[in-house]
Amino acid sequence: MDKYLSAFREMISLRGLTDHTVTSYSTYIRAYLNYLSGILHKMPEDVSWDELRDFIRWLQREKSLSDRTMNHCISQLRFFTIYVLHKPWDATQLPMRRFDSYLPFVPTQNEVWYFIQSFSNLKHKAVLSLLYSAGLRVGEACSLRYEDISRSSMRIHIRHSKARSDRYAILSQNALDILTQYWFHAGRPMGFLFPNRDNSQKPMASYTVNQFIAAKEAELGWEHRFSCHTFRHAFGTHLYENGTDLLTIKALLGHKSLNSTTIYVHLASNGTGNAVSPFDQMGGVSHGQV
């Protein structure tokens, strides 16, 4: 089955995706190929639609995956079928799943400030300060280089973001002060600002950030609600609450579509919850609650 996985990775690579994305996309194809060899004892070309559906049911049952994650798996199977097996894909045989959408947790500005200030490790404190103050994705923060920080223009150059385009993010003075303190303490790194502990030629791994966030929550006795992306959501929400327009927030976050940015209308305390129902304005007056 190795040749099928290699072919899949090769075709994914031809799309110009990063090594991290190639590895991520290969996860469920590897599981599928192991299922075929270990359970069905069949080659991929010989699998029926019934058997493909059985695999999806087996995978969700064994891994307890969400419907959103199952859709990622189905997308990978579709790509594998078309570009590796060179067979047509019939969406009526294996449809995408509907899934519930939930609003993410957004801490208050005071909660964010307290959480970041609770770190004594300057490296960790600097990473979180940049995640929040500039609304960075964790991969963007970990991959920052010395030359990406512009003190003269107070901007951060984000290279090759998820949207496959460069952008400039805000450089907060508070974040710069913390970053500068860390930089001197870390021996003035001139390459990656946050190098990997075992290899300074590589950036710090993204999963490391989630690990020290979870460890701090446990230390504080907090419920596990923070993640790397929490700080990005907090940045967008707090900007909107402070009067920043959605187009500006979209540009700062590097969203491709404004639809991705409109979530902050729902998350903000002065967003949809601040609207007054027209039923309470009938008769020319605003009717208060009894």
Q: What is the pLDDT along the chain (290 residues), one digit of tens a residue?
A: 889 999 998 888 887 766 667 777 788 899 999 999 999 999 999 999 999 999 999 998 888 888 888 898 999 999 999 999 999 999 999 988 886 667 788 999 999 999 999 999 999 999 999 999 999 999 999 999 999 999 999 999 998 766 567 899 999 999 999 999 999 999 999 999 999 988 888 999 989 999 999 999 999 999 999 999 999 999 999 999 988 999 999 999 988 888 888 888 888 877 776 777 776 777 655 555 54
Q: What is the pLDDT of residue 21?
A: 72
Looking at 162, 167, 168, 202, which residue is catalytic?
Answer: 162
Q: Please report, for the chain, the start and end positions of each structural domain, with discontinuous segments joined by +.
A: 2-83, 109-272
User: Which residues fall within 8 angstroms of residue 264, CB to CB, at 6 or more apart?
Assistant: 233, 236, 237, 239, 240, 246, 249, 271
At which residue do the structure tokens 């923060």 appear? Answer: 141
CB 149 within 8 A of CB 134: no
Radius of gyration of the chain (CA): 23
Known active-site residue 232: yes
To the query of whether residue 53 is one of the catalytic residues in this protein, the response is no
Is residue 83 annotated as a catalytic residue, yes or no? no
Residue 103's pLDDT is: 79
**Is the pTM above the cut of 0.85?**
no
Question: What superfamily would CATH give domain 109-272?
Answer: Intergrase catalytic core (1.10.443.10)
Active site residue 162: yes
Burial class from Cβ neighbours inside 10 Å (0-12, 13-18, 19+) for residue 49 reads exposed
Catalytic residue among 78, 145, 157, 229: 229
Q: Is 157 a catalytic residue?
A: no
- 156 CB-near residues (< 8 Å, 6+ apart): 130, 134, 136, 144, 148, 149, 150, 168, 169, 170, 171
Number of H helices and E strands in the chain, helices first, is: 13, 3
Best CATH choice for the domain 2-83 from the list 3.30.1330.10, 3.40.50.970, 1.10.150.130, 3.20.20.20? 1.10.150.130
pLDDT of residue 18: 67
CA distances from 229 to 130, 208, 232 (A): 12, 14, 5
Cα gap 177→273, rounded to integer Å: 36
What is residue 154's predicted lDDT score, i.e. its pLDDT? 95
Which of 137, 216, 233, 250 is labelled catalytic?
137
- Catalytic, 264? Answer yes
- What's the token pair of residue 214? 């979870």
Q: Which is catalytic among the residues 232, 233, 238, 250? A: 232
158 and 254 Cβ atoms separated by less than 8 Å: yes
Q: What pLDDT was estimated at residue 100?
A: 65
- List C-alpha distances in Å: 62 to 33, 56, 65, 66, 204: 15, 10, 8, 12, 32
Q: Which helix (H) or strand (E) holds 169?
A: strand 167-170
Report how far Cα 97 is from the mean position of its chain's Cα atoms: 21
Distance CA 44, CA 243 (A): 54
Q: What is the pLDDT of residue 16?
A: 74
